[in-house]
Structure 1
């Protein structure tokens, strides 16, 4: 348990940051799920639109420190390749 004033404040800040980051991660996962569902449906236009909508959210997750930049780069690359393959087929 926090004893000093500063440690109590840090505990409060940590809880607040945790809530914000949790909401941000949830939002990112929602966008990723929409892209996955669009790819599964086989509609290339919807998948491309979902991917374009997901990209800024993923990038925002990087700038806010929720996700690592290489993780986002890998996810975007793999999703873009799948959407491209869908549109070529």
Structure 2
């Protein structure tokens, strides 16, 4: 079966605390996925959360699925709101 390679868009809600974005970037790096763009939108002070949007460079779908699985289990990630390839 051929490898499926795409760019990906992921929007997630994370805990707004030091090191959260670094933890997320580490997951992508560990899975061999390069980040093209990372944007943290204005935070929600009451909920101590922030919305983060990640765009990747072209990546293998299997690696992206592994990254999503790790992100879902990461303590700083509250929710993956959107995932588009």
TM-score (normalizing by structure 1): 0.34
- Report the structure number with the largest CA radius of gyration: 1
Tell me which protein shows more strand as a share of its residues.
Answer: 2
Tell me which protein shows more helix as a share of its residues.
Answer: 1
TM-score (normalizing by structure 2): 0.35
